[in-house]
Structure 1
Amino acid sequence: MSQYWSQRFAREGMIWGSRPSPSAGWAKQRFMEDGASSVLVPGAGYGRNTKVFAPEFTVYGIELSEAALELAAEWDPGTTFIAGSALQPQLVHPVDAVYCYDVLHLFLADDRRRLIDACLEQVRSGGLLYFTSFSDEDPNYGCGTELEPGTYEYKADKYAHFFSDGDLRGHFAGNEILETGSFTESLKNPQGGTHEYILRYILARKK
């Protein structure tokens, strides 16, 4: 998977443009209301969403792709980017909040657990976690070969897990679930076209 994304970032640059996801703004507001001062963004890419948080928080972005990190250093100099896997803890000191955009659904069950556990290890007790992921209401749900329950290879060599509300809540069992919901994300590709897909989000507090 890391090779796939490295090749895409190297070939296409800022794949999803410069406009952040609206969910980054929503998460930022909730983090500010909670008094957070530091935020971790696993799978930060080229900094499209980290830049939303950088003016108000100390922000750390974890990213495996060297091509994405090079773009991120120019696009968002206000964030500290760390080269490494989001499946492993990378920080020495815990942060107040985690914002994880569209990373969780990229993995099979064991690695989804590793991602969440790594995030929980890097956020303080009582800290917030805001995750977005593919929804089982998205048209791609059920397409292609089912690799695991809810996980489909919906395009050649590309798979994702599609979450129901209950499934997403279950992944964060043991934490306080503050809010869940869904929204439609609209992204413009480098060719100028627009792609829409349905996401779920969850806001949880580490116990």
Structure 2
Amino acid sequence: MYDYWNQRFAQEGMIWGSDPSPTALLAMDLFRQHQSKSVLVPGAGYGRNTKVFSKEFETYGIEVTPVAIEIAAEWDPLSSFTLGSALDHRLEIQVDAIYCYDLLHLFLQEERRRLVVNCLKQLRLGGVVYFTSFSDEDPNNGCGRLMEPGTYEYKEGKFAHFFNDRELREHFAGTEILDTGSYPETLKSPEGKSHSYILRYIVARKMS
């Protein structure tokens, strides 16, 4: 997966353009309501979404691909980016909020749980998270080679897990789940091409 993304960022740059996901704006409102002052974005990519938060919050991004980090540092100089894997890299501080966009579904079950655990360890008590992932309602669910229950290699060399609501909630057992739901997402490239899919989101608060 590392090679895939590093190659894509090297060849395509800002793959999905400069506009943030609408879910980042929804998360922004949530973080304001909870009086957050700092935000962590695991899998920050080239900073498309971090730039939303860095205008108002102390924002940290963790990204595994060096090419994306280089683009992000130039695009969003107000955020602090660290090269590393969101599965195990930790900040030296705890943050008030975490926004994790379409990263969770890129891993198999064991690593998905590692990601959630590692993120929650970087969140202060009472802090909130906003995670998005592929939904089982998306048309790509069930396409391609089955790798694990709910996980398919839907494109050659690219697999994803497609979450139902119950399963997404289970990944955040031990937190107070504030909201879940589905959202139609459209990605647009700088060339004007678009791709639509269905994602799920979960909003939760760390209680222990």
Q: Shorter-chain TM-score: which interval?
A: over 0.9
In 1, distance between residues paired with 2:102 and 2:174? Answer: 22
2-side partners of 1:83 and 1:90: how far apart?
11
Letter in 2 for 1:91: L
C-alpha displacement of 1:3: 1.1
Distance 1:190 1:147 in 2: 32
Per-residue Cα deviation, 1:119-142 (whole angstroms, up to 9, x for no partner):
011000111010000000000000
1:61 and 1:79 in contact (8 A); partners too: yes
Q: Where do 4+ consecutive residues of structure 1 move more than 4 Å?
A: none
Please list, as runs of the form range in 1=range in 2, the aligned pairs for 1:110-149 lying within 5 A after superposition: 110-149=110-149
* Unaligned ranges ≥5, structure 1: none
Could you tell me which residue of structure 1 aligns to residue 106 of structure 2?
106
Q: CA RMSD in A?
A: 0.7
Give the C-alpha shift of residue 191 in structure 1.
Answer: 3.9
Q: Is the 8 A contact 1:2 1:64 kept in 2?
A: yes
Contact 1:12 1:190 in 2 (8 A): no
How far apart are the structure 2 equivalents of 1:15 and 1:110? 28
Counterpart contact for 1:89–1:122, Cα < 8 Å:
no
- 1:86-144 Cα offsets, whole Å, 9 max, x none, are 00132011000100000000000010011001101100011101000000000000001
Superposition pairs of residues 169-184 of structure 1, within 5 angstroms: 169-184=169-184
Equivalent residues of 1:39, 1:95 under 8 A apart: yes
1:42-97 Cα deviation digits (max 9, x unpaired): 00000000000001100000001110011001100010000100001320110001
Query: 8 Å contact 1:179–1:202 — kept in the other structure?
Result: yes
Q: Distance in 1 between matches of 2:29 and 2:53?
A: 10
Rounded Cα–Cα distance in structure 1 between residues aligned with 2:114 and 2:122: 12
3-state SS, counterpart of residue 97 of structure 1:
strand
Shift of 1:190: 4.2
The TM-score with structure 2 as length reference comes to 0.98
Tell me, what secondary structure is at the counterpart of 2:18?
coil
- 2:166 alignment partner in structure 1: 166
| SS in structure 2 at match of 1:120 | helix
Counterpart Cα distance in 1 of 2:135 and 2:43: 19
SS in 2 for 1:197: strand
Q: Structure 2 regions of 5+ residues with no counterpart? A: none
- For residues 139 and 202 of structure 2, what CA distance do their matches in structure 1 show? 20
Q: Tell me how many residue pairs correspond in the alignment.
A: 207
2:119 aligned partner, one-letter code:
C
CA distance in 2, matches of 1:201, 1:166: 12
Q: Does 1:37 align with 2:37?
A: yes
Task: State the partner residue of 2:18.
Answer: 18
Q: Percent identity?
A: 64
Q: Name the structure 2 match of 1:27.
A: 27
Q: SS state of the match for residue 173, structure 1?
A: coil
* 1:203 counterpart residue number: 203
Letter in 2 for 1:50: T
